[in-house]
Amino acid sequence: MTDHKNPETEADLTGATPRRRPKADVLEVGGRKLSPSTLMMGHAFDPMLSEGSLKPPIFLTSTFVFENAAAGKRHFEGVTGKRPGGADGLVYSRFNGPNQEILEDRLGIWDEAEDALVFSSGMSAIATLMLALVKPGDVIVHSAPLYAATETLIGRILGRFGVTFLDFPAGATEAEIEAVVAKAKAQGNVSLIYLESPANPTNALVDIEAVSRVRDRLLGESKPPIAIDNTFLGPLWQQPLRHGADLVVYSLTKYAGGHSDLVAGGVTGAKAWINPIRMMRNTIGTICDPNTAWMLLRSLETLELRMSRAGENAEKVCAFFRDHPKVESVGYLGFLQDGTRQADIYKRHCTGAGSTFSLYLKGGERESFAFLDSLKIAKLAVSLGGTETLASCPAAMTHLSVPDQRKQELGITDNLVRISIGVENADDLIADFDQALKAV
């Protein structure tokens, strides 16, 4: 996204020698706008700038040599925020690097975002976003539940710096959301509305359009950004910027990375909101490393293939679970009842049901553990979105730190097993789940 890769902005006001830059990208052919899957193979990288290497090399360097002193000054004006939009050249690997910038360009394509940033983890993306946008005395309004570490960050860590929060349940109606935002407005300056949809681990969807309308009605003057964690369905099956969100957050560790072999995060959105987050990232150094960025570039090439196959598998597996006598219910977005509010949100916001769902077994922790301990193909591990199927018990694992009463309110019960379906053969997976249920 930074100008140093854009030949059109090569004009150099300082007279410094411009770096060699890639040719303009091909974004359409014969009037046809290219789809993200096509663009993932080459967008934002010119092999001729790297000895003809088809794939980008990994740039393992801590710092970059300036063409001359004037260029160094100009680049630092971008890094320090004197000029918005980031540095227009490479400076120092805590600020930027070729692998990270190519990745940011490609990540932004999926969300049709103006700009994007990548981070060392999903949590460092969320923390950097919040540190950039929230100050002492402010109020954060958020949907619930949130990923447990995000709740900890808002409630316990930002709380230490005088930030308060109010939340509404993920499936809340527009009127219910409005009541919470009105209360928050009376409490202080609402500087961020933070959503997670589908929520981890319940899969409850948030009505982004309703939140956006409420924000405009009640907070039209200050217009705080709406940020949303899109880890469960994005970037393939949900594009929140189209529905009124300003910033989209990812744990790239999950579907985007997709092979359970890296940890990274991302934020996409409008330049106006990305700029302060980049400034914060430059200061605290939460950018992802070049090697991880390179691995993510490879992962994005197969994103649509992997997610589509996982989605098809999940549909078959959930159909098997649905009628099983040992299963109480299946929290799968493909099973939402027509006429319900959740189904309405799904139809407006999502183009696929994903491959991560909640399986509620008849019984409690004993039954969940017996099921998990009997699995032979699916691995007993937290995380999701990888090529392999994973299963875990959120109440006893990822959400163990959430107080019991809140867990009950949010539907994070002991009999809930969260499953993330991978790209294996669906019938093999069903055979595995069948034998594990027999062992319960």
Ligand X SMILES: Cc1ncc(COP(=O)(O)O)c(C=O)c1O
Give residues in contact with ligand X (CB under 6 A): 121-123, 147, 196, 200, 229, 231, 251, 253, 263, 265
Length of the chain: 440
CB count within 10 Å of CB 28 equals 9
Reference 439, options 363, 382, 388, 358; nearest CA is 363
Comparison of 2 and 231: residue with beta carbon closer to ligand X: 231
Nearest approach, Cβ of residue 148 and ligand X (Å): 9
Nearest approach, Cβ of residue 76 and ligand X (Å): 30
Q: d(Cα 96, Cα 117) in Å, to the nearest integer? A: 10
Nearest approach, Cβ of residue 123 and ligand X (Å): 4
Comparison of 100 and 251: residue with beta carbon closer to ligand X: 251
In contact, 88 and 9? CB cutoff 8 Å: yes
Sequence-separated (6 or more) residues with CB below 8 Å from residue 192: 130, 133, 134, 138, 140, 141, 224, 225, 227
Nearest approach, Cβ of residue 85 and ligand X (Å): 26
Nearest approach, Cβ of residue 388 and ligand X (Å): 16
Comparison of 109 and 123: residue with beta carbon closer to ligand X: 123
Comparison of 123 and 353: residue with beta carbon closer to ligand X: 123
Reference 327, options 205, 200, 417; nearest CA is 417
Nearest approach, Cβ of residue 113 and ligand X (Å): 18
Comparison of 231 and 238: residue with beta carbon closer to ligand X: 231
Q: d(Cα 148, Cα 310) in Å, to the nearest integer? A: 25
Nearest approach, Cβ of residue 405 and ligand X (Å): 22
Region for residue 430 given its phi and psi (left: phi exceeds 0; alpha: psi -120 to 50; beta: otherwise): alpha
Comparison of 191 and 200: residue with beta carbon closer to ligand X: 200
Q: d(Cα 357, Cα 198) in Å, to the nearest integer? A: 10
Comparison of 44 and 233: residue with beta carbon closer to ligand X: 233
In contact, 433 and 378? CB cutoff 8 Å: yes
Region for residue 137 given its phi and psi (left: phi exceeds 0; alpha: psi -120 to 50; beta: otherwise): left
Q: Looking at beta carbons, which residue is closest to ligand X?
A: 122
